[in-house]
Amino acid sequence: MFEKNLNIGYLLDFYGVLLSDRKRSVMDMYYNEDLSLAEVAEEIGISRQGVRDIIKKSEEELLFYEERLGLAEKLQRVEAETSELCRIADSEKLPSEIHERIVKLSELVRQ
């Protein structure tokens, strides 16, 4: 069975701009609009198998980008560390300037 992968959805958000317009459109319909293969096929006028092929190729491309660049994983680690810093900053008596910098960093990472 062809199941949707949450990791691919995340990579699509991260690297989707690197895909061709057609691939990005198909992936957006499938992952973000939650359309079925048949619905996407009807929308763009190709077979269900054609949609599946585009999705598989696009997934491979997104995984290739992440494997080579690793930016999505690095961002997830930075977000985790930033959340931990915010937790510590909220529980400790830190100078206001340090606390403000941690909050700004957290906001920047989440944009």
Instruction: Give the model confidence (pLDDT) of 41-63 as tens digits.
Output: 999 999 999 999 999 999 999 99
Q: Which domains does the chain have, with CATH numbers?
A: 6-69 (1.10.10.10), 72-110 (no CATH)
Question: Binning pLDDT at 50, 70 and 90, where does residue 1 land?
Answer: very low
Q: What is the pTM of this model?
A: 0.77
Q: Contact 61/23 with Cβ under 8 angstroms?
A: yes
Measured CA to CA, the distance from residue 85 to residue 49 in angstroms comes to: 47
